[in-house]
Structures are given as C-alpha cells and as structure tokens.
Amino acid sequence: MKAYLAGPDVFLPNAHENAAAKIAICAKYGIIGRPPLNEELGDLAQMPEDAAWRMIFRKDLEMMQACDIIIANLTPFRGASADAGTLIEVGWFLGRGKPVFGYSNSAASFATRSQAQIAAMPDPLTDLTVEGFGLPDNLMIPGAVEAGGGLQMILPADGRDRVFDALDMFEACVAAAARKLGLA
C-alpha cells in the first residue's frame, strides 16, 4: 500500500528530515510513504524556470499515479485554507476513486481563520460570504476526505493548534487510514 504524502511539508527548510520521519511513521502501520520531494530531478536552480516546474509537475503526477492512497497535510498555508498544490492532489485522488485521508495541525474553524485573514488582508469586495458549518476548511475539503476515504479529517482533539511541522496528527491519520484499510 503506497501513500502519496501530500502537503506543504515540501516547503520546510528541513523537508528531507520531515519526509524521512513521515516515511518511518507510515512503515509502523504497514504503509509505504512517498513524499513528493524533488531530489531526483537534479539541480533545478540550473534549469530554465519553465522546464523546472513542468518537470516537478510531471514527477508529482507520476508519483500520484503510482500511489494507492493520499495522506494529505491540510494544515492551513499562507491563507485561510490548506496548501493549494495539496488541494489539487486531493481532488485528483478523489476523481480517480483512490482513498483520501487528511489531517490538519490547526484546531481553529475555517470561519475563524477566514475572519482573521480578512482582518489582516481585507477581501477585494465587501460582503463576500464567510463559509460556516463549523468545518475545518472549505466544505469541499472535509467532503473530499469523507467521500474519498470514509473518515473525517483528523484534527487536534484537545482544541490546541500544533506547531506547523508537528507529526502527531499525521500519525493519528496514518493509524486511522491503516485501520480503515484493514492494515492494522
């Protein structure tokens, strides 16, 4: 069982150590974790930008095709919602009918985070709706997780935000996915 380890983790300064820790956690639960790092692509800084990003895109898409499930880090990133690239990937797995699992290190509701975002960077128009429903993000995200993997998003049960790169919610998500898939 190969899991695509989506998330803004790739933007961490210690992305490789983080990925190794995630792979080790997955292995405890009988899952092969595949992080979408770029280390096999050569020195991207030496390539024309257009060639570099398309190479990363193709590599990520091929890795998604080779994986059976996605375990997505849906912690908010540079805005009220989860990382943009991760959301494309979650949608792709849902479209393919491959199981979707996801977690967030944020305990705040989407409505609360949206209001904080608007306070810091006002909306371009007034009176744009703030989505409620008590959800952790735009309803398409918990919807994709629930419809795709049959579980709800894993969130801090104690109501406390985790630091951005904490891995306890990730491990809870991997454990829940393994149980759901009959691996544990």
- Binding site residues, a copy of itself, CB under 8 A: 8, 10-13, 49-50, 52-54, 56-57, 60-61, 78-85, 87-96, 114, 116-118, 120-121, 123-125, 127-129, 131-135, 137-144, 146-147, 163-165
Nearer to a copy of itself, 91 or 180 (CB): 91
* CB contact at 8 A, 66 and 32: no
Q: Which residues in 25-55 are b (16+ Cβ under 10 Å) and which e? A: bbeebebebbbbbeeeeeeeeeeeeeebeee
Q: Considering the complex, state which of residue 66 and residue 84 has its C-beta at the smaller distance from a copy of itself.
A: 84
Cα–Cα distance for residue pair 18/42, rounded to 1 Å: 20
Given the complex with a copy of itself, which of 90 and 176 has the nearer CB atom? 90
| Min CB(124)–a copy of itself separation in Å | 4
For the bound state, the minimum distance from the C-beta of residue 161 to a copy of itself, rounded and expressed in Å, comes to 9
Neighbours of 122 (CB within 10 A): 9
Q: What length does the chain have?
A: 184
Structure tokens at 115: 């209001």
C-beta of 144: minimal distance to a copy of itself in Å? 5
Query: Cβ 28 to a copy of itself, closest distance in Å?
Result: 25
State which residue, 23 or 52, has the beta carbon closest to a copy of itself: 52
Which residue type sits at 142? P
